[in-house]
A and B are shown apart, each in its own frame.
Chain A
Amino acid sequence: MTDNGRYAVIGKPLPKVDAASRVTGQAVYADDMLLPRTLHCRILRSPHPHARIVSIDTSAARRMPGVHAVITGADLPIKFGILPVTQDERALEHEKVRYVGDPIAAVAATDEEIAAAACDAIAVEYQVLEPVMSIDAALGRPKDERIQDYGGPNNIHKLVALEFGDVDGGFARADHVREDVFFFQGNTHLPMEQHSAVATYIDGKVTLWSSTQVVHYVHRALAKVLELPMNRIRVIGAAHGGGFGGKTDPFAHEIIVAKLAMITGRPVKCTLTREEVFYAHRGRHPVLMWVRTGVTSDGRITAMHFKSALDGGAYGSYGVASTFYTGALQTVTYDIPAYRFEGCRVFTNKPPCGPKRGHGTPQPRFAIELHLEKIARDLGIDPVEMKRANFVKPMTRTVNWMRVTSCGLEECTELVMKASGYRERERRSGRGMGFAISSYLSGAGTAIYWNDMPHSEVQIKVDRGGVTAYCGAMDIGQGSDSVLAAVVAEELGLQPKDIRLVTADTDTTPIDLGSYSSRVTFMAGNAALEAARKMRALLVEAVEASGRKYEEVSFEEASVLAEARFGTLTTAGSYTPPKIAGPYKGSGVGPSPAYSYSACVVDLDADPRTGLIHLNKVWIAHDVGRAINPLLVEGQVEGSVYMGLGEALMEEQTFRKGLHKWPSMLEYKSPTFLDMPDVETFIVETNDPEGPYGAKEAGQGPLLPVIPAVNAAVFDALGIWVDEVPVTPEKIVEALRRRDKGEPPRYGPQRFPEIPYPPTIKVDPPPRDLDRAAAASI
Chain B
Amino acid sequence: MVALEVNGERTELLLPVHKTLLEVLREDMQLTGTKHGCELGECGTCTVLVDGKPELSCLLLPIQIEGRAVTTVEGLASGSRLHPLQQAFAELGAAQCGYCTPGILLASKSLLDTNQRPTRDEIREALAGNLCRCTGYMKILEAIELAAERMSTHSPSPLAGKEGMGRISDR
| A242 interface residue (CB < 8 Å to B) | yes
Point out the residues of chain A lying under 8 angstroms from B105, CB to CB. Answer: 23
Report which residue of A34, A477, A670 has the largest number of chain B beta carbons within 10 angstroms of its beta carbon. A477
| B160 interface residue (CB < 8 Å to A) | no
| Chain-B contact segment, one of A14-22, A141-149, A578-586 | A14-22
Point out the residues of chain A lying under 8 angstroms from B99, CB to CB. Answer: 29, 191-193, 241-242, 477
A639 to B139, CA, bound (A): 10
A664 to B131, CA, bound (A): 13
Using A21-B171, A192-B133 as known contacts, say yes or no to A15 and B90 having CB atoms under 8 A apart. Answer: yes
Contact at A274–B38, with CB atoms within 8 Å?
A: yes
Point out the residues of chain A lying under 8 angstroms from B74, CB to CB. Answer: 24-25
| A330 interface residue (CB < 8 Å to B) | no
Contact at A635–B139, with CB atoms within 8 Å?
A: yes
Point out the residues of chain B lying under 8 angstroms from A678, CB to CB. Answer: 138
Point out the residues of chain A lying under 8 angstroms from B135, CB to CB. Answer: 635, 638-639, 642
Question: Considering only CB atoms and an 8 Å cut-off, how many residues of chain B contact the other chain?
Answer: 65
Using A193-B35, A244-B133, A676-B136 as known contacts, say yes or no to A24 and B77 having CB atoms under 8 A apart. Answer: yes
Point out the residues of chain A lying under 8 angstroms from B37, CB to CB. Answer: 192-194, 274, 665
| A673 interface residue (CB < 8 Å to B) | yes
Interface residues of A in 1-56 (CB under 8 A from B): 15-16, 18-29, 31-32, 34
Proximity string of chain B (13-30) to chain A, C-beta cutoff 8 Å, 1 when within and 0 when not:
000000000000011001
Contact at B43–A193, with CB atoms within 8 Å?
A: no
Proximity string of chain B (113-129) to chain A, C-beta cutoff 8 Å, 1 when within and 0 when not:
00000000001110111
Contact at A32–B36, with CB atoms within 8 Å?
A: no
Report which residue of A20, A32, A676 has the largest number of chain B beta carbons within 10 angstroms of its beta carbon. A20
A18 to B38, CA, bound (A): 25
Proximity string of chain B (23-53) to chain A, C-beta cutoff 8 Å, 1 when within and 0 when not:
0001100111111111110110100000000
A191 to B133, CA, bound (A): 6
Contact at A16–B93, with CB atoms within 8 Å?
A: yes
Point out the residues of chain B lying under 8 angstroms from A28, CB to CB. Answer: 32
A15 partner, pick from B91, B137, B171, beta carbons under 8 A: B91
Contact at A26–B133, with CB atoms within 8 Å?
A: no
Point out the residues of chain B lying under 8 angstroms from A239, CB to CB. Answer: 98
Name the interface size band of chain A: 35 or more
| A632 interface residue (CB < 8 Å to B) | yes
Using A25-B102, A274-B37, A497-B164 as known contacts, say yes or no to A635 and B91 having CB atoms under 8 A apart. Answer: no
A23 to B77, CA, bound (A): 10
Point out the residues of chain B lying under 8 angstroms from A665, CB to CB. Answer: 37-38, 40, 42-43, 131
Contact at A21–B86, with CB atoms within 8 Å?
A: no
| A672 interface residue (CB < 8 Å to B) | yes
By a beta-carbon cutoff of 8 Å, the part of chain A in contact with chain B is: 15-16, 18-29, 31-32, 34, 189-194, 239-242, 244, 273-274, 476-479, 495, 497, 501, 631-632, 634-635, 638-643, 664-666, 670, 672-674, 676, 678-679
User: 8 closest pairs, A vs B, by CB?
Assistant: A25-B33, A477-B97, A22-B98, A642-B136, A241-B99, A19-B90, A497-B164, A25-B73
20 contacting pairs across A/B (C-beta < 8 A): A15-B93, A18-B98, A20-B164, A23-B82, A23-B105, A24-B77, A25-B72, A191-B97, A241-B35, A242-B134, A274-B37, A477-B134, A497-B163, A631-B92, A634-B93, A635-B96, A640-B136, A666-B38, A670-B133, A673-B137
